[in-house]
Amino acid sequence: MLNKDAKIYVAGHNGLVGSAIWNNLKSRGYTNLVGKSHRELDLLDPIAVKAFFDEEKPDAVVLAAAHVGGIMANLKYRADFIYENLQIQQNVIGESFRHQVKKLLFLGSTCIYPRVAQQPMKETALLMSELEYTNEPYAIAKIAGLKMCESFSLQYGCNYIAVMPTNLYGPNDNFHLENSHVLPAMIRKIHLAKCLNEGDWKAVRDDLNLRPVNGVDGNCTEKAILDVLAGYGIRRDSVTLWGTGTPMREFLWSEEMADASVHVLLNVDFKDTYSPDDKEIRNCHINVGTGKEISIRDVAELVMKEIGFKGLLKWDSTKPDGTPRKLTDVTKLHNLGWHHQVEIDEGVHRLYQWYRKGICINHKPA
C-alpha cells in the first residue's frame, strides 16, 4: 500500500481514464499527484521525460497516456499508433526504472488478444494466434508495454503491473467523428442526426462550435454543415454506422476502470499476478472489464432510444467490422478483489447527459 503522501505521477491525467484515476486517487486521500499536459511535457521526447523524472522523482507512476482511436484512425494512421505508443512506453517505463519508482501501473487494451481468441478471453490467450488486422500496430505496441512491465519485474524485482481494459467510455471521452471509439462516436452522430431531424439548428451549431468537424464549425452555412456531416453518415432522416453491427463488444464505464486501476495500484503486487507453481512466468497482466457483451447493433439501438432519434439506423457493410468478439474473462480480477457495478444501459444514459451538459456549459448566453 502506498502512503497517502506518496508522490504519484499520472501520465495522461487529462484523458478519459487518466482524469478518472486522478479523481479516484484524490477521493481516497492521495493528494500529492503530479500531472503534465502534452504541451507541458512531450512524452515522445526522451530528454524531456528524463528531465521531468529528475525533477519530480515520483514514488509511483500510472501510465495512462497513449495514442488511441477507433477503427478508422487505426487503419489510417498505422505508423503513428505503433511508433508513438512504443516511444511513450519506452520513455516512461525506462525512466521509472532508472529513478527507482516503487510501483508502476501500465494501462493497455484487450485488443492485444488474437482476432479469433477463444471467448471469453483469458490472459493466457495472448500471442496464441494472429491479431486483428485493423489495430495490429496498436496491439503490438501494447503487448510490448506489458512485456516490458513483466520483464523488468522478473529481471530486476520491480513492482510493475499491466492492466488490460476492455472498451471504455465515460466523462471526458473523445467525441471526434474520425478518431473516437465506437460508443462516443455513435452518441454524437445520433445526437446530431436528431437535431437535424427536429430542425434544431442552434443545437447543431453549438455542437460544432465546441467540436468542429474538418474545419466546419457552427458559423458555417447550413449547406456546408450538412455536407460535412453527411460524409460521416449523419443526415436528417438517418445515421449510417460502419460495418454490419454484428460484432460483440464489452463496455466498461471509465470511472470504474479508474477504480479497478487504483485498486490494483494500492492492493496488488507483481507477485500476486501469477502462480508460484508456474514453471514459466508469463501473462502476468490483468484483464479489466465486466465479463458481459452486447452487439454493436444492440448498443446502437440503445443509444437511439436514449437520445430519442426517430430516423433510420443504417449500416455500411463495405467498412470493416473489426474483431468479431472481444469478451474478457475477468476471473483473475475478481480473485484480486474487484467487480464492476455500472451496466451498459445506465452508462449510456450517464454519458449522453454528460455530453449534453458539456455543450450547454460551453454555450451559455452572455
Residue 19 C-alpha cell reads as 482524469
Contact between residue 132 and residue 139 where contact means Cβ atoms under 8 Å apart: yes
- The backbone region for 242, taken as left when phi is positive above 0, alpha when psi lies in -120 to 50, beta otherwise, is beta
What pLDDT sits at residue 366? 41
CA dihedral 51, 57, 58, 62 (to 10 degrees): 30
Predicted confidence (pLDDT) per residue in 302-336, tens digit: 999 999 999 999 999 999 887 788 899 999 999 99
CA separation for the pair 178, 70 (Å, rounded): 8
The one catalytic residue in 30, 138, 160, 355 is 138
With b meaning 16 or more CB within 10 Å and e meaning fewer, what string describes 227-249?
Answer: ebbeebbbbeeebbbbbebebbb
Residue count of the chain, please give it. Answer: 366
Separation between Cα atoms, residue 114 and residue 130, nearest integer Å = 5
Mean pLDDT of the region 237-257: 95
- CA atoms of 61 and 18, how far apart (whole Å): 11
Q: Tell me the per-residue pLDDT of 53-68, one tens digit each, with 9 for 90 and over.
A: 999 999 999 999 998 8
**Cα end-to-end span (Å), the chain:** 49
Bigger pLDDT: 325 vs 209: 209
Give the pLDDT confidence score for residue 174 in this predicted structure: 86
Question: How distant, in Å, are the alpha carbons of 65, 66, 140, 162, 240 from that of 43?
Answer: 9, 9, 19, 19, 37
Catalytic status, residue 138:
yes
Task: Give the pLDDT confidence of 76-133 residue by residue, as tens digits.
Answer: 899 999 999 999 999 999 999 999 999 999 999 999 999 989 999 999 999 999 999 9
Query: Stretch 297-302: mean pLDDT, rounded?
Result: 97
120 preceded by a cis bond (ω within 30 of 0): yes
Residues 55, 58: Cα–Cα separation, whole Å: 9
C-alpha cell of residue 115: 482476432
Q: What stretch of H or E contains 349?
A: helix 344-362
* Residue whose C-alpha cell reads 443526415 in the numeric block: 235
pLDDT of residue 69: 79
Q: How confident is the model at residue 189 (pLDDT cuts 50, 70, 90)?
A: very high
| High-pLDDT (> 90) share of the chain, % | 85
